[in-house]
Amino acid sequence: MSKIPGDLHYTRSHEWVRRLPSGQVEVGITDHAQEALGDLVYVEVPQVSRRLVAGEACAVVESVKAASDVYSPVSGQVAASNDDLAQRPELLNSDPYGTGWLMRVAPDASAAAGALLTPAEYAQFLAEAG
Amino acid sequence: MPFIPHTADDIARMLQVIGAQSIDDLFDEIPPALKTAALHDVPPALSEMEVGRLLTERALRDGRPLNFIGAGAYEHHIPAPVWAIATRGEFYSAYTPYQAEASQGTLQLIYEYQSMMCALTAMEVSNASLYDGASALAEACLMAVRANRGSESRRILLPLTVNPTYCKVARNITGNQQVEFEAVNFDRRDGRVPLRALQAYEGQDFAALVVQHPDFFGNLEEVDQLTDWAHANKMLVIAVVNPIALALLKPPGEWGGLAGGTRGADIVCGEGQPLGVPLASGGPYFGFMATRMQYVRQMPGRIVGGTLDIEGRPGFSLTLQAREQHIRRSKATSNICTNQGLMVTAATVYMALLGAAGLKRVAAASAQRTADLVRALCQISGVSAAFDAPRFHEAVLLLDRPVAPVLAALAERGISGGLDLCASHPELGHALLVCATETKTDADIDVYARALADIMRPVRVVRDSN
């Protein structure tokens, strides 16, 4: 059973969202996603200051067998991206909710959080899809 | 003889299993409007005997002229072992085999090809080849747009000294992907791209600058200056190069750095035909592409990597396939990532046979032959060199009259005298692009010069003697 921390929000495309005290949100891929992808060999993170629309492909995670898009859960501007992943893509496998974060986004003021899933909803979504 | 292994019975049984009436039913999902009812220009099927006869007749039309045309396809001597080896049953296929790793010999050959191309270009990684030189430039432009993260534009600076056919193909392939090209003019005196022509674009957002070297006119561009300028303006440098010329010239991986700290061209591409592939009425040829490791994941095509097997023995495998179309579908880095395995086989054998010293001799002899040709032709009244820049093995000549009739008269004497530039570069006037490789002897050059002198004899003008 993959881990679903209780203090985060989720998407149906398997990204997680953490609200930071600064107002920014941190984004990564879920434990379930990293498990499904297998050992990651390359991660491409978005350029800082890039403007994103919710649902837009913003990062690529590549395993030996496949390269998959990561979609931005929110609209806003990229405030930081995790440059450590260029050298250590395996962080996404070993610590998907921590050092394996992908980017921090300053969300647009108007950005609605309604579309995101609660931990319980995401767990149910995985169970149904499972 | 139909090369379809299924009998009518096999097909009927398969259709029954999937519940389809006919094979055509399988294409039902294609809207009728998208189906071409009739292929008007395709004649009815011919028998093997008829096809053989037709192609023999077509091949004879080429004749065996004394050839002085270059313009992107070059006649070089191909040592007999090249095709004797390339057509051996073990190699004789245009494709990388499926289950590629089962064909270690093929992969080793491609790996060695990649290593040779990296050595020639001074780049860090080469792919297994592309379709041809023109499509390689198109792919390089798409790659530059993906790779240049400092640029938000999809615009590319494309000098008018780049092969016009390459420009056309690049526009055609990238047009639907919103890549835009800005044409950069050349200096009319030396035929090269001057820095002052680029200054107008300073501070503007372009993804890349294309530098062909030697350029379409045969001139050697000032590649260090151009590379430094592009990098200073946050553009990538796409080098379009002739692999034979690289035996003599500074490799693109070392371009630039006039102020110290060179990083070289970012993407190198070009036509591989000069390396052991015959002219063959225009193809098949092969394109090559090399880049720095930093951009390897943006490079289209396949790459063969060296590795160790489970018992620690060295071996070869396809690598970095995750972004190819059989996995990424519409999001693949390229959807024409074919390679030209057979042409690459010939090129690898050619380079291995000649070695670095042999390639240098071919390059030096070609440059010398062209210098001899230009000198001989420019002694003829009404013929002059268009540009005064240093050149490799091609040159633009200016005639005092339209080029087409002159070329027709030369053709009557069995000479292909060069390429008329009136369609691609009308601003040059009566311009003729000529080329002589190591295949041309003093006698050949003399034959051309005498014929041209005869054809160019001053036209008799009837004048009033008053």
Is there a domain that residue A100 lies in?
yes
**Strand intervals (E) in B18-82:** 66-67
Instruction: Please count the helices (runs of H) and the strands (runs of E) in chain B.
Output: 12, 15
What lies within 8 Å, CB to CB, of B86 at 6+ separation is B92, B342, B345, B346, B349
| Burial environment of residue B164 by CB neighbours within 10 A (0 to 12, 13 to 18, 19 or more) | middle
Which residue ranges does chain B devote to CATH 3.90.1150.10?
355-455
A39 touches chain B (CB under 8 A): no
B297 touches chain A (CB under 8 A): yes
A115 touches chain B (CB under 8 A): no
Query: Residues of A with CB below 8 A from B328's CB?
Result: 66-67
Alpha-carbon radius of gyration of chain A: 14
A63 touches chain B (CB under 8 A): yes
Contact criterion met (CB < 8 Å) for A65 and B323: no
Is there a domain that residue A2 lies in?
no
B146 touches chain A (CB under 8 A): no
Alpha helices in B123-278, H assignment, sequence order: 133-147, 164-174, 195-198, 223-232
What's the confidence (pLDDT) of residue B2?
59
Distance from CA of B322 to the nearest CA of A (A): 5
B328 touches chain A (CB under 8 A): yes
Query: Nearest by CB to B327, which of A42, A66, A69?
Result: A66
Question: Which residue in B437, B434, B419, B425 sits closest to B161, CA to CA?
Answer: B425
Is there a domain that residue A37 lies in?
yes
Query: Residues of B with CB below 8 A from A77's CB?
Result: none
B51 touches chain A (CB under 8 A): no
User: Rounded mean pLDDT of chain A?
Assistant: 92
What's the confidence (pLDDT) of residue A104?
97
At residue B226, what are phi and psi to the nearest 5 degrees? -65, -40
Q: Which of A56-65, A103-112, A119-128 has the lowest mean pLDDT?
A: A103-112
Is there a domain that residue A56 lies in?
yes
Contact criterion met (CB < 8 Å) for B297 and A44: yes
Q: HSE on the CB side for A50, CA within 13 Å?
A: 21
- For β-strands A15-19 and A25-29, DSSP reports them as antiparallel
Query: Residues of A with CB below 8 A from B322's CB?
Result: 62-67
ipTM of the complex: 0.73
Contact criterion met (CB < 8 Å) for B297 and A62: yes
The length of chain A in residues reads 130
CATH number, position A70: 2.40.50.100
- For β-strands A25-29 and A103-107, DSSP reports them as antiparallel
Q: Where do we find the tokens 């300028």?
A: B229
Contact criterion met (CB < 8 Å) for A42 and B328: no
Contact A41, A63 (CB under 8 A): yes
Count residue pairs from A and B with Cβ separation < 8 A.
19
- As given in the structure block, the two tokens for residue B83 are 């095709």
Question: Which residue in A125, A105, A100 sits closest to A23, CA to CA?
Answer: A105
Chain A residue with the nearest C-alpha to that of B326: A66
- As given in the structure block, the two tokens for residue B453 are 């002198």
Is there a domain that residue A34 lies in?
yes
What's the confidence (pLDDT) of residue A39?
92
Q: What's the CA gap between A48 and A77, in Å, rounded? A: 8
Alpha-carbon radius of gyration of chain B: 25
Alpha helices in B329-432, H assignment, sequence order: 341-378, 403-412
The vertex-B364 CA angle with B424 and B262, nearest 5°, equals 75
- As given in the structure block, the two tokens for residue B85 are 């080896």
Is there a domain that residue A120 lies in?
no
B331 touches chain A (CB under 8 A): yes
Which residue ranges does chain B devote to CATH 3.40.640.10?
80-349
Chain B residue with the nearest C-alpha to that of A60: B323
A47 touches chain B (CB under 8 A): yes
CATH 3.90.1150.10 fits B355-455, yes or no: yes
Q: What's the CA gap between B153 and B205, in Å, rounded? A: 6
Instruction: Name the pLDDT band for A113 (thresholds 50, 70, 90).
Output: low
What integer is the mean pLDDT of A2-31?
Answer: 95
Using the 8-state DSSP alphabet, how is residue B68 labeled?
A: -
Contact criterion met (CB < 8 Å) for A67 and B328: yes
Is there a domain that residue A127 lies in?
no
Contact B179, B154 (CB under 8 A): yes
Contact B231, B237 (CB under 8 A): yes
pLDDT in tens, B9-61: 999 999 999 999 999 899 888 888 887 767 778 888 899 999 999 999 998 88
Angle (deg, nearest 10), helices B133-147 and B164-174: 50
What integer is the mean pLDDT of A27-49?
Answer: 93
A62 touches chain B (CB under 8 A): yes
Q: HSE on the CB side for B316, CA within 13 Å?
A: 20
Distance from CA of B153 to the nearest CA of A (A): 13
Mutate which of B293, B307, B323 to test chain A, going by most A C-beta atoms within 10 A?
Answer: B323
Question: Which residue in B174, B166, B158 sits closest to B133, CA to CA?
Answer: B166
- State how many domains chain A has: 1
In 3-state terms, chain A is what percent helix, strand and coil (to 5)? 20, 35, 45
Question: Secondary structure of B251-292 in the HEC alphabet?
Answer: CHHHCCCCCCCCCCCCEEEEECCCCCCCCHHHCCCCEEEEEC
A77 touches chain B (CB under 8 A): no
The CATH architecture of the domain made up of B80-349 is 3-Layer(aba) Sandwich (3.40)
Contact criterion met (CB < 8 Å) for A67 and B323: yes
Distance from CA of A4 to the nearest CA of B (A): 28
Q: What's the CA gap between B288 and B284, in Å, rounded? A: 14
Looking at beta carbons, which pairs linking B97-104 to residues 24 or more positions away fall under 8 Å? B100/B317, B100/B318, B101/B315, B101/B316, B101/B317, B101/B318, B104/B315, B104/B316
Query: Residues of B with CB below 8 A from A64's CB?
Result: 322
CB count in 10 Å sphere of residue B25: 11
What's the confidence (pLDDT) of residue A129?
81
A56 touches chain B (CB under 8 A): no
pLDDT values of chain B reduced to their tens digit, one per residue, 466 residues: 556 788 899 999 999 999 999 998 998 888 888 877 677 788 888 999 999 999 999 988 888 899 999 999 999 999 999 999 999 988 887 666 677 888 899 999 999 999 999 999 999 999 999 999 999 999 999 999 999 988 889 999 999 999 999 999 999 999 889 999 999 999 999 999 999 999 999 999 999 999 999 999 999 999 999 999 999 999 999 999 999 999 999 999 999 988 777 789 999 999 999 999 999 988 899 999 999 999 998 999 889 999 998 999 999 998 887 777 777 777 787 776 667 889 999 999 999 999 999 999 999 999 999 999 999 999 999 999 999 999 999 999 999 999 999 999 999 999 999 999 999 999 999 999 999 999 999 999 999 999 999 999 876 666 655 5
- As given in the structure block, the two tokens for residue B45 are 């099927």
B196 touches chain A (CB under 8 A): no
B323 touches chain A (CB under 8 A): yes
What's the confidence (pLDDT) of residue B178?
92
pLDDT in tens, B69-113: 999 999 999 999 999 999 998 888 766 667 788 889 999 999 999
Phi-psi region of B218 (alpha: psi -120 to 50; beta: other; left: phi over 0): left
Query: Nearest by CB to A64, which of B297, B322, B331?
Result: B322
Is there a domain that residue A81 lies in?
yes
What's the confidence (pLDDT) of residue B33?
82
The residue range of the domain holding A58 is: 9-109
Contact A14, A29 (CB under 8 A): yes
CB count in 10 Å sphere of residue B304: 26
